[in-house]
Amino acid sequence: MIKVSQDTKNAYKSDASHKEIVIRIPDANITLTNEDIVSESLELKEAIESSENLSFQGCISSSLKIEVFTLVDDTLEGMWIEADIKADNTETIPLFRGYISEVTNQTHEEYTAVIRAYDALFKINKTDVTSWYNSLTFPMTVQAFRNSFFQRVGVTQVADYLTNDGVTIQKTIEDKVIMGAKIIKAICQLNGRFGRISRTGRFEYVHLTEAAEALYPAEDLYPAEDIYPSDENAVDNVLKAHYTKISFENYRVASINKVQIVAKSGAIVATAGSGSNVFTLKDNPLVWGLAQASLNAVARNLYNTVQGLWYTPSNVNCVGLPYVECGDFVLMTARLSIIRAYVLSRTLKGIQAITDAYKAPGDKNQPVYVPDLQAQTNANAQNITNEANTRQTQITNEANTRQSQINAEASTRQSQINAEADARRNADNNEASIRANQVQAVNVRCDNLVAKDAQIESVVATKATIEQLNATNATIAHVNAQLVNTNNLVAQKASITELNAVRATVNYINARYITASQVTTAVNNALQGQITCGSLRTGSISIYDGSGYTNLYTLLDRRYVKRY
């Protein structure tokens, strides 16, 4: 229902209100009002269902017919047309949005023209979409599929999330020519919705509201406008004063309590619900090729959407209510009965004396579908095979998963063992002694060597840099160092360019030339010291025996010492 105020509803239920029609053809810059329109010539037809049962396919184009005095011609065909209506000073209600399909000039005295128009569904249903379908990349979700379709046909959808939008479908249509009607009906049936073009020109999905049991009044009471049983779901109440004719069946269309899906082969491949009034989804290419789990999910989702729908088949002629739309339901009183029915189709006529005709046909039960025996047998056998394959796949997957877990655990444990072994090996290397009889290398480089005890008999190297060297016996061809600290130095030959020492004790000095600022030594009685040199030059020589007495002749060779 188009949302309007109660004042607007009351205005259309009153014979005294004045209605104004406005027709616009923007591309031709034409606007027509009551003065341009033949009295009561307006006719609007709408429908969402054409069969005797709820099929959820519909997708029926609405049509508008109106006769005008303005001289027009067929050059208007294909142009966009809009129609609105207004009662007194209430809200404007959109009636129709679509395209002009035909302009017929009449030849009677007043020379009028009849304009016929259809909404966008008329074009969609007749559009060849084969190339579009073949260009799609499957698999894809139903939602992505329908969005792509309406983008192709150039129609905006009313934002909605459908019950099976998340199902992933395959490419299954093999028709040489695919028409838009096939696609749009398959989408609607899969989701338990009726498709139509709204009064604003957008495509929308109509969801019938679940029925509610009515509470009937006493036989001597009739409902009033403000007191009506079970009207919480009804969009409007049609009282006896509002209709001129009504007919209805003496049964209600039973509510759907089961859904079944029929495969391309004709076999029933999925069900949901457990009742006997079954809605059958068949000849729908969107379910072909689906896995069993997906088919089961589609059936459940569809069942939750369509279950519980019931109504009383009826026809009613009443006052014109343009705010009512197909898919709405109304409550009507007839004798001592209350009729509850969906508006499955309607025809609205007139302008000032505007009238409505609602129809809601329907058999008591949904038609029974009996599958071909061989097809069903094959489907059952295939289901058994599929279930066995599914179970085997599950077992294999579980085994593979467990094996992967075992392998991962083993790999993790081995890594831990290797890490522990490496750590222990490094610790042992740090703590172990390194012993070698001989190490010979042109270049030995060690970033970090830590050892409690290192014994090396011989080290021969071009270059060695050692912060600290403790060795019993070390033979080094050449030592070049800025600073050498040693407690004890024993060598056969020592060549020292410069010797600076706080204290130097030398048992024997044999040198060709000794130059020293001061030479001080002590000789005890037991020591037979001797200094032998070619020349001895010194500023001061102090030589003492053990008693502190100087005896140069005793200590020095007299031939070379001049006595003063």
What are the pLDDT digits (tens) for 298-335?
A: 999 999 999 988 999 999 999 999 999 999 988 887 76
E strands, 106-222, are 113-118, 140-141, 168-169, 194-197, 203-206
Residues 6+ apart with CB under 8 A from 460: 440, 441
Residues 6+ apart with CB under 8 A from 84: 21, 22, 92, 93, 94, 95
**Gap between the Cα atoms of 116 and 559, Å rounded:** 155
Categorize the per-residue pLDDT at 73 as very low, low, confident or very high, splitting at 50, 70 and 90: confident
Please tell me the predicted confidence (pLDDT) of residue 454: 59
Of 424, 441, 461, the residue that ends a domain is 424
pLDDT tens for each residue of 99-124: 999 998 876 666 789 999 999 999 99
Categorize the per-residue pLDDT at 338 as very low, low, confident or very high, splitting at 50, 70 and 90: confident
Residue 25 has pLDDT above 80, yes or no: yes
Higher pLDDT, 527 or 466: 466
Higher pLDDT, 388 or 453: 388
User: Taking the alpha carbons of 305, 306, 312, 317 in that order, is the dihedral positive or negative?
Assistant: positive
Q: Judge whether 168 lies within some domain.
A: no
Categorize the per-residue pLDDT at 391 as very low, low, confident or very high, splitting at 50, 70 and 90: confident
Residue located via tokens 């010291």: 529
Dump the DSSP string for 202-242. -EEEE-PPPP-PPPP--TT---BTTB-TT-SS-SEEE-GGG
Structure tokens at 498: 């410069």
Judged on CB neighbours under 10 Å (0-12, 13-18, 19+), 257 is middle
pLDDT tens for each residue of 172-182: 999 999 999 99
Comparing 66-80, 218-232, 412-426, 491-505, the range with the smallest average pLDDT is 218-232
Residue 378 has pLDDT above 70, yes or no: no
Q: Judge whether 318 lies within some domain.
A: no
Please tell me the predicted confidence (pLDDT) of residue 149: 98
Residues 6+ apart with CB under 8 A from 454: 433, 434, 435
Q: Judge whether 246 lies within some domain.
A: no
Q: Judge whether 24 lies within some domain.
A: no
Residue 291 has pLDDT above 70, yes or no: yes
Categorize the per-residue pLDDT at 216 as very low, low, confident or very high, splitting at 50, 70 and 90: very low
Q: Judge whether 18 lies within some domain.
A: no
Q: What percent of the chain has pLDDT over 90?
A: 49
E strands, 256-344, are 258-262, 268-273, 278-281, 314-319, 329-334, 337-342
Q: Judge whether 86 lies within some domain.
A: no
Residue 467 has pLDDT above 90, yes or no: no
Q: Domain range holding 553?
A: 511-564
Please tell me the predicted confidence (pLDDT) of residue 329: 82
Of 424, 459, 484, the residue that ends a domain is 424
In the predicted model, what is the mean pLDDT of the chain?
A: 80
Q: Judge whether 435 lies within some domain.
A: no
Residue 80 has pLDDT above 80, yes or no: yes
> Degrees (nearest 5) of the Cα angle 81, 23, 79?
20
Domain tally, the chain = 2
State the amino acid at position 427 in one-letter form. A
> Degrees (nearest 5) of the Cα angle 341, 342, 347?
110
Structure tokens at 428: 């042992």
**Gap between the Cα atoms of 523 and 544, Å rounded:** 6
Please tell me the predicted confidence (pLDDT) of residue 524: 44
Please tell me the predicted confidence (pLDDT) of residue 232: 43
**Gap between the Cα atoms of 290 and 272, Å rounded:** 16
Higher pLDDT, 240 or 438: 240
Kind plus residue range of the DSSP H or E element containing 189:
helix 180-191
**Gap between the Cα atoms of 412 and 397, Å rounded:** 22
CA-closest candidate to residue 71, choices 26, 29, 27, 103: 103
Q: How many CB atoms lie within 10 A of CB 127?
A: 19
Q: Which residues pair with 87 in a beta bridge?
A: 19
Q: Judge whether 539 lies within some domain.
A: yes
C-alpha distance from residue 105 to each of 26, 33, 553, 555 (Å): 21, 19, 163, 159
End-to-end CA, the chain: 146
Higher pLDDT, 349 or 1: 349
The model carries a pTM of: 0.65
Categorize the per-residue pLDDT at 471 as very low, low, confident or very high, splitting at 50, 70 and 90: low
pLDDT, average across residues 431-460: 56
Of 407, 424, 441, the residue that ends a domain is 424
Residue 513 has pLDDT above 90, yes or no: no
Please tell me the predicted confidence (pLDDT) of residue 522: 47
Please tell me the predicted confidence (pLDDT) of residue 339: 83
Comparing 192-201, 359-368, 412-421, the range with the smallest average pLDDT is 412-421
Residue 444 has pLDDT above 60, yes or no: no
Q: What percent of the chain has pLDDT over 70?
A: 65
pLDDT, average across residues 330-351: 86
Higher pLDDT, 458 or 62: 62
pLDDT, average across residues 289-293: 93
Please tell me the predicted confidence (pLDDT) of residue 214: 47
Please tell me the predicted confidence (pLDDT) of residue 468: 66
Residue 221 has pLDDT above 50, yes or no: no
**Gap between the Cα atoms of 335 and 337, Å rounded:** 6
Categorize the per-residue pLDDT at 472 as very low, low, confident or very high, splitting at 50, 70 and 90: low
